[in-house]
């Protein structure tokens, strides 16, 4: 069976393909490795750890994207977490609630030292993943046989 010409409209009807893309982006996020943020002047308490005020922290995205609190079995490539087949593997909808509640309850304004030009000029991109070689072979599908050898 031939599918004819592939078009964007057809890909929207392929939930597993979208799951593979989402899972690939989660585990191989192309965004900068970490975003620097400064602690509040009074500092922050994380459990038993105190971080003084005005300290720059950098949290790698990969830490959050593999965190089992947000992505159960987060170290595994599992496209089904995005297709609805295994909703227990996706708890990030809580993030949407957090964002919605935050913008509903707070006006988010530029801080006293906000300077858009400095922010744009000071933005740096980091690349931090060194991947080993991945050897793949692309074998044309044979009509009636969807598996490759």
Q: Which residues of 69-79 are buried (b: 16+ CB within 10 A; e: fewer)?
A: ebbeebeeebb
State the Cα–Cα distance between residues 124 and 36, nearest whole angstrom: 10
pLDDT confidence of residue 98: 63
pLDDT confidence tier of residue 124, bands split at 50, 70 and 90: low
Give the tens place of pLDDT for each residue, 18-66. 889 888 888 877 765 666 778 889 988 888 999 999 888 877 777 778 8
What pLDDT, in 10s, does the model give residues 99-113?
A: 677 777 777 777 778
Identify the pLDDT of residue 44: 86
Domain ranges of the chain: 8-40+51-140
CB 82 within 8 A of CB 74: no
- Rg of the chain (C-alpha set): 21
pLDDT of residue 136: 67
pLDDT bracket for residue 148 (50, 70, 90): very low
pLDDT tier at 1 (50, 70, 90 boundaries)?
A: very low
Is the pLDDT at 14 greater than 90? The verdict is no
Cα separation, 62 vs 74, in Å, equals 10
Q: What is the mean pLDDT of residues 128-139?
A: 67
């Amino acid at each position: 069976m031939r599918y004819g010409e592939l078009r964007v409209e057809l890909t929207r009807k392929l939930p597993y393909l979208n799951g593979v893309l989402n899972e690939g982006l989660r585990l191989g996020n192309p965004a900068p490795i970490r975003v620097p943020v400064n602690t509040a002047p009074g500092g922050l308490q994380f459990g038993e750890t105190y971080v003084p005020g005005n300290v720059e922290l950098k949290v790698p995205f990969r830490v959050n994207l593999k965190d089992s609190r947000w992505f159960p079995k987060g170290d595994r490539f599992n496209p089904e977490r995005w297709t609805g087949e295994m909703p227990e593997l996706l708890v990030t909808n809580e993030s949407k609630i957090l964002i919605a509640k935050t913008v509903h309850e707070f006006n988010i304004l530029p801080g006293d030292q906000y300077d858009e030009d400095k922010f744009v000029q000071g933005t740096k991109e980091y690349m931090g993943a060194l991947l080993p070689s991945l050897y793949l072979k692309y074998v044309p599908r044979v009509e009636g046989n969807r598996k490759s050898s």
